[in-house]
């Protein structure tokens, strides 16, 4: 046969698969009955969001199971209540609806919801304290912006201010600070991975949260690799050489920015859903935590030896810090659990990619290479500092 026909042969296994699947579907039930009967569906709803508004509560529900699920009765604190839905009450697989309950809820009191399916199975969802969900207002918008500014831009900018000092230290110590950058980014990658995995576990099983995490990590890793490549070419980088310092600083800024985006989203959504007490201490904690991120950008910026203008520094601070503001807005007003998982996954890939770039850089440029005491110490210091300051924000 010709090569062309052999290529067409690739379709044959697919066609056979379709045939086998059809045959199984046609007679599948009888096969199941040979080994027993399947248990009845769980008939529980997944409560994905609860909003408290004046005189009204809104619950977003999803049907996580294969079988259709009908919402028949809603109770609030063990009392049957009238309710409305924004669509049919029978939810197909992964179908969602928003239940609107007119209700005079009590501020700061615990409250529990019961969602009874047609089969009588009740899904209970408890909220520790009823707090009004913020509606988009100018003041609120400004407030979230301020929070994002304080936990994002301010500490990064302050960390960048270490740049002149970094310029005047020995190569050994600069390598140590570069390694520190890699260490803190490693910490951020693990931190974001933990968040992404925890959040995906709370998604309805049918959405395939784990796959979303893998996809998000991979796409952002490849995306940042592509970005680093392009930026380097523009600065006349020789093929195969390491990314030059200023470009590395930019990549670090992007990686940190993507992490801050998801961090801001987490702060905004937790606060909006009444799960977070956004006290002064917490904001101070985030500021101390994130000042290290500025240092992480400053270290590669100091490496190249060339001058870095104030405007460029401001741009780097903006790239790394502004996403925290954007994140709080998104989290505060339109948070969605899938978006949260994706954002954290993207942060994982970005941080990991930058760790790889920084490590390559340190290996080539650092006196003594990766195994030197300064590099190992700097790396461990980066992780330790992030852990210790993270305790403040915890």
Partner 1 sequence: MLLTMKRTITRRRFLGAAAPLVLAGAPLAGLAAGVAGATGTEPDPHAGHTPSSYPGHATMIGAGVPSPAGPHEHDALLYPPPALPHEPGRLRTYDIVASDRELEIIDGVTFAAWTYNGTVPGPVIRATEDDLLRVSFHNAGSHPHTIHFHGIHPANMDGVFEIVDPGGSFTYEFPAKPYGMHLYHCHAAPLKKHIHKGLYGAFIIDPPAPRPPALELVMVMHGYDTDGDGANNFYAVNGPAFLYAKHPIRVKRGELVRIFLANLTEFDLINSFHLHGEMFRYYPTGTGTAYEYTDTVMLCQGQRGIIEVEFTHPGRFMFHAHQTEFTELGWMGYFEVEA
**Coil, helix or strand at residue 26:** helix
DSSP 175: H
Least separation in angstroms between CB 182 and partner 1: 52
Residues with Cβ within 8 Å of 294's Cβ and at least 6 positions away in sequence, in order, are 155, 156, 157, 158, 159, 160, 161, 162, 317, 320
DSSP of 229-284: HHHHHHTTPPTTPPPPHHHHHHHHHHHHHHHHHHHHHHHHHHHHTT-----HHHHH
CB 83 within 8 A of CB 103: no
Tokens representing 347? 């942060």
- Please select the residue that binds partner 1; options are 93, 96, 98, 121, rule is CB under 8 A: 121
Q: What does the per-residue mask of binding to partner 1 show for 90-109, with x meaning CB under 8 A?
A: x---------x-xxx-----
C-alpha 128/C-alpha 273 separation (Å) is 11
Which CB sits closer to partner 1, 118 or 278?
118
- Give the binding-site size for partner 1 (rule: CB under 8 A): 31
Q: Measured on CA atoms in the order 291, 296, 301, 302, is the torsion positive or negative? A: positive
Q: Which stretch binds partner 1 (CB under 8 A): 79-87, 165-173, 202-210, 379-387?
A: 79-87
When asked if residue 89 is in the footprint of partner 1 (CB under 8 A), the reply is yes
How far apart (Å, rounded) are the C-alpha atoms in residues 362 and 52?
51
Tell me the HSE value of 368 on the side-chain side, using a 13 A CA sphere: 14
In angstroms, give the least distance from the CB of 98 to partner 1. 13
Q: Is 81 in the site for partner 1 (CB under 8 A)?
A: yes
Contact indicator for 289, 150 with CB cutoff of 8 Å = no
**Antiparallel, parallel or unpaired: β 90-91 and 56-62:** unpaired
Q: Read off the tokens for 17.
A: 């698969």
Q: Which is nearer to partner 1, 77 or 237 (CB)?
A: 77
CB nearer partner 1, residue 59 or residue 393: 59
Interface region with partner 1, contact rule CB under 8 A, candidates 71-79, 131-139, 228-236, 264-272? 71-79
Identify which range of 11-19, 65-73, 150-158, 329-337 contacts partner 1 by CB under 8 A: 65-73
Our finding on whether 4 is near partner 1 (CB under 8 A) is no
Would you count residue 294 as binding partner 1 (CB under 8 A)? no
Asked if 114 interacts with partner 1 (CB under 8 A), we say yes
Contact segment (CB under 8 A) with partner 1 among 20-28, 86-94, 252-260, 311-319 equals 86-94
| 54 counts as binding partner 1 under rule CB under 8 A | no
CB 75, min distance to partner 1, A:
7
- Candidate list 62, 63, 65, 116; residue touching partner 1; CB under 8 A: 116
Q: Which stretch binds partner 1 (CB under 8 A): 10-18, 66-74, 190-198, 323-331?
A: 66-74
Among positions 96, 98, 119, 372, the unique one binding partner 1 when judged by CB under 8 A: 119
Longest dimension (CA), the chain: 78
Contacts with partner 1 by CB under 8 A lie at: 55, 67-68, 70, 72-73, 75, 78-85, 87-90, 100, 102-104, 114, 116-122
């Amino acid at each position: 046969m010709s090569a062309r026909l052999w290529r067409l042969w690739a379709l044959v296994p697919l066609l056979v698969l379709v045939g086998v699947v059809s045959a199984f579907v046609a007679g599948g039930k009888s096969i199941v009955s040979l080994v027993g009967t399947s248990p009845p569906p769980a008939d529980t709803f997944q409560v994905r969001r609860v909003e408290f508004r004046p005189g009204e509560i809104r619950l977003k529900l999803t049907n996580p199971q294969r079988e259709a699920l009908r919402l028949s009765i809603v109770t609030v604190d063990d009392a049957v209540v009238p309710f409305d839905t924004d669509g049919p009450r029978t939810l197909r697989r992964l179908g969602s609806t928003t239940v609107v309950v007119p209700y005079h809820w009590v501020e700061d009191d615990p409250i529990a919801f019961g969602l009874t399916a047609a089969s009588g199975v009740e899904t209970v969802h408890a909220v520790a304290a009823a707090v009004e969900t913020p509606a988009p207002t100018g003041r609120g918008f400004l407030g979230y912006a301020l929070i994002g500014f304080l936990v994002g831009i301010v500490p990064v900018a302050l960390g960048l201010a270490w740049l002149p000092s970094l310029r005047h230290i020995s190569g050994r110590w600069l390598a140590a600070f570069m390694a520190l950058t890699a260490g803190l980014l490693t910490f951020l990658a693990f931190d974001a991975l933990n968040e992404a995995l925890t959040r995906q576990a709370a998604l309805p099983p049918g959405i395939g949260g784990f796959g979303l995490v893998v996809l998000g990590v991979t796409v952002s890793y490849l995306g940042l690799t592509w970005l680093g490549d392009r930026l380097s070419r523009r600065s006349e980088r020789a093929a195969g050489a390491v990314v030059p310092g200023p470009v590395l600083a930019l990549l670090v800024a992007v990686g940190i920015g993507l992490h801050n985006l998801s961090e801001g989203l987490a702060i905004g959504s937790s606060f909006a859903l009444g799960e977070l007490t956004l006290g002064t201490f917490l904001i101070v904690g985030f500021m101390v935590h994130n000042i290290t991120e500025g240092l992480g950008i400053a270290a590669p910026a100091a490496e190249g030896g060339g001058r870095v203008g104030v405007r460029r520094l401001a741009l780097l601070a903006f790239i790394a810090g502004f996403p925290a503001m954007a994140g709080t807005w998104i989290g505060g007003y339109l948070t969605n659990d899938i978006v949260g998982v994706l954002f954290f996954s993207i942060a994982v890939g970005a941080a990991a990619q930058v760790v790889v770039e920084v490590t390559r850089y340190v290996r080539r440029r650092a006196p003594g290479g990766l195994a030197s005491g300064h590099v190992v110490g700097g790396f461990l210091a980066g992780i330790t500092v992030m852990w210790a300051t993270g305790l403040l924000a915890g």
